[in-house]
Structure formats: structure tokens, C-alpha cells
Structure 1
Amino acid sequence: MPDLDDLLAGLTPKERAAVDVLDAQRLELERNRMGPSAAATLTAPIHGVFARLRMWDRLVRDMADHWAACDRYLVHEYLNMLAVRDGIEQNIERMPPRLRGKVENVVGELDGRFREMTEDDGGAELSRYSKKVAAGADLSWWWTRKPKVLPNGW
């Protein structure tokens, strides 16, 4: 499995600054969606660049473990992680080329593992739970895949 801490530690100051810009933009967006008192306490984005990568990594690890660390994992949690993966893709598109390459290497490894533990059913399973999948929206490939081993609570 890729090591996100190694990726973070290996960033140049310029790459770190690019991540900081993306995180600052995300923080502002998240604050705008909150009430003033909650927004005032938020000092880092909940869905920052590395937070999203860690969430995707956690999903892949949970699936690799056959969900052993989870008493249950609801389908809506899985759908949320697919939305997190969308956010990762949006971040990648906005990164400078060298940083993009580093992040794509890590995400590519995670995506490969994700593909191994899921099967493409054209979105049939997820369309039961997601309106956008059911509507046949133009979605990325991860939205048409379901885990080969469904967790408790699905």
C-alpha cells in the first residue's frame, strides 16, 4: 500500500505551497456552508487534499481487510467515499504537473487495489441507493463498481 506520510514528507516547499492553496480554498468553501459560530472554529478543511487521500486509503484498507475493522459499513458511507474520490480527482486536475504526478502515483496504486476488490456491474447495485447513478449521470469509473465482499450493514 502507498504511504501517504512518505508522500507528504517528500513534497518540496513549492509543492507544499500548492497543497496549502488547495486546502485554503476548500476551507473557505466548507466555512461558507456552516453557520458563523461553527465556521469560526474550523481551522483546517475537513476534506483537504491529504484528508481525502487518507479517506480513500482507509476505504481501500477496510475492503482489503474484508471490513474486519468495521462493525458495519453502510452503503451511504461507501457512496460518500466515492464522492471523496471525485474530490481527489478535482484536486489532481488543479495541481502543478510535478505534484500531480506524485499524487497520481499514489492514487493509481490505491485505485488498482480498489479495482481488485470491486466489480464493475455498470452501477446496478449503487443505482438502488444513488439517484445520480440511477439517472445514468456522467460519472467516473469508480461509481459503477461495487465491493466483491459486501460489508455488514450494506
Structure 2
Amino acid sequence: MTYNVFTIAPLRPSVLLAALATCIGVHPGDVDVADAEGSQDDRNWGAAVLCDFTETLGDVSLSLDIYVQESAPNRLSEKELAAELAVAAQTVVLYPAEESIPSAYWLVTPDRTVTRARLLSSDDARPVYSIDAVESKVACLPEVPATPLDEIVREYPTPVPLTERFVTAVDAPEHSSADSVSTPLTREVGTPFYRARTALAEWERMVRRMGSGWQPTGHCSADMYRAGLRARNDIAQLINDLPAPTGELLRELAEQIDGDFTKLTEQDDGQALVEATGPLTGAHENAWWWQRKPSALPW
């Protein structure tokens, strides 16, 4: 099995070798550790554990590519390997999260605290890495801010069946001409139909995320919540901008989502959002949905 992790501490090869032997449950002589950019002539390619390390710049010191033979006694998941390595080497370890986001990582500390982290890399020939944020405060990294990682929430697949119903109804009358295929109304960028589709999807997705407990992280920033409310503003305007039958359908679907939103929130006159993001501005931000907060604040 192959593992790709980062360590914050600049571990010496001997320390890394001993830590890996402990994690995998093999004799230190059955672990081969080498600089990926150095000579490969003296490698023990038959070792149960092969580890290539590369020195990195910034908030992480080493990038490790670890390969464990099937014959090794401890067949660990990447999560398990990272946790065991953090304890054995007494360093913070980062490993890639499941989402297809380059900056999405999990971080584990020597005391086995685990949280999500945003790891950024520069575009330099030799990248400089920075731990931009963590989802929960990490005692040994006091300078790293703790904040909801909205990109993780956005990436998580959230069904929007009411939006799909809207799209199906609006695009149903469209037909292909003899020589070309007409663009569905809800796909014509800039049109009220397109804006209605995107606003309804944003509103429905936000409310469904709230209903799921903000899967997969359990968190959502106040700014992301505010964006959902702005989408509801757009819906209110577009109901009047669309042809009557379509506008009425948009109103009907939005009100179904509103019902779930009401159940999941409570009246607070917008105070929680004001405290998190600043004063509400604009006529639409006096609408009733701005006066409610999630029953359990996710930020």
C-alpha cells in the first residue's frame, strides 16, 4: 500500500526509520528510508517498508512517499498510518482528504487530535507550503486560524430535486430544430431562467445542507450562510421577472424549501449573522429569511 503524507518536523532519517518500524510492526532493518533526490544506489528494495522523503519549504518540512509490502504485519489505512506516525515521531502529520480539492487535508497531532486543514502551495518551481486554516483549533499550532472550510461543504454532493423539477418543467417545451439543437432556457447564461435555476439550486442546497447537519464537516461559515440568503433574495425578484406560469412554479418550489428552512431555524432578528459578518444592508436584507438563524450555529 502507498501513503503520501507531510510532516511539520524536519525528521532525521534515523528517527523516521524508527517511527515507521514502530507503526508497521517490523524490525528497523526491514525499513528503507532515503532522500528522493539523492542517490538510490544503496537502497534495500526488498524491505517491507520503503520511504522516499523530500525536504519542503514553508509550514511543512518533509513530504513522504511510503510503500508498504503486503507481507508487512500492520496493514494500515492512510488515516491510521498518519495517526501512528504522528505519535511515534512526535510531529504533526497531514494526509490528503477524500475530496478532489488540492488543498483539502486532514491533520493529526501527536496527541491524536484530528481536524481538517487547508494546505496551500505556491506556484514556485519548488513550492512553499502554508497551513492556511484548520477547522478546529490545534493547540500546538496556535497561529493557524480555526474556521469552517467552506470548499469542503461545497464539494459534498447535495441533491436538489426541486431544482431538477424546475429545470424539467421549464426546458420541456424546448425542441431541436432541423439543423441545430436549441439551448435549454435554464442553460442560457444571463437569462432570468438561468438565474432562477442557479438561485433556486443555491437556496435548496443550503437548506438541505443545514438539514443534514452540514455534512460532511458539521460546519458552515456565516458568509456561506449569507450567500444562501442572497440566493433567496434573487428568487424573490425573479418570481416577478419570469413569465407568469414559470414565476408561479418558482414561487411554489421556493416556498417548499422555505418550509424546511423555517423548521431548521429560529427567529433572532438577524442578530447572529450581524455579529458574524457585519450589518445587513439593502432592502432585500429586511426580508423574513434574514431574520432567522440556524437552530445550532455552524460557524
Which amino acid letter does the alignment assign opposite residue 85 of structure 1? Answer: R
1:54 maps onto 2:54 in alignment? no
Asked which structure has the greater CA Rg, the reply is: 2
**Worse overlay, 133-142 or 71-80:** 133-142
Q: State the AA in 2 paired with 1:9.
A: T
Corresponding residue to 2:173 among 9, 13, 16: 13
CA-CA distance at 1:136 after TM superposition: 9.7
Do 2:204 and 2:257's aligned partners in 1 also have CA atoms closer than 8 Å? yes
Contact 1:62 1:70 in 2 (8 A): no
- Change in Cα spacing, 1:133 to 1:20, as seen in structure 2 (3 Å) is same
Superposed CA offset, 1:76-111 (max 9, x none): 111111111111111112112111111111100001
- Which residue, 251, 254, 263 being the options, matches 1:104? 251
Q: Which amino acid aligns with 2:271?
A: A
State how far apart, in whole Å, the 1-side matches of 2:281 and 2:237 are. 23
The residue number in structure 2 matching 1:68 is 215
Alignment of 1:1-154 (within 5 A): 3-11=162-170, 13=173, 17=185, 23-25=189-191, 48-70=195-217, 72-133=219-280, 139-151=286-298, 154=299
Letter in 1 for 2:216: A
- Deviation at residue 24 of structure 1 after TM alignment: 2.5
SS of aligned partner of 1:133 = coil
Query: Which is richer in strand?
Result: 2
Higher alpha-carbon deviation: 133-142 or 51-60 = 133-142
Distance in 2, matches of 1:109 and 1:103, equals 10
Greater relative CO (CA pairs within 8 A, separation 6+) = 1
Distance 1:63 1:138, change over 3 A: closer
Q: What secondary structure sits across from 1:111 in the alignment?
A: helix
Once the 2 structures are TM-superposed, how far is the Cα of residue 125 of structure 1 from its aligned partner?
1.2
How many residues align? The count is: 129
Gapped regions of structure 2 (runs ≥ 5): 1-159, 175-183
Alignment TM-score, normalising by the size of structure 1: 0.70
Contact kept? 1:66, 1:149, Cα under 8 Å: no
Residues 120 and 63 (structure 1), Cα distance of their counterparts in 2 relative to 1, 3 Å cut: same
RMSD: 2.8
Identity of aligned residues (%): 26
Letter paired with 2:209: D
- For 2:237 and 2:295, locate their aligned partners in 1 and report how far apart those are by CA, in whole Å: 27
Provide structure 1 residue ranges, at least 5 long, that are not aligned to the other structure.
27-44
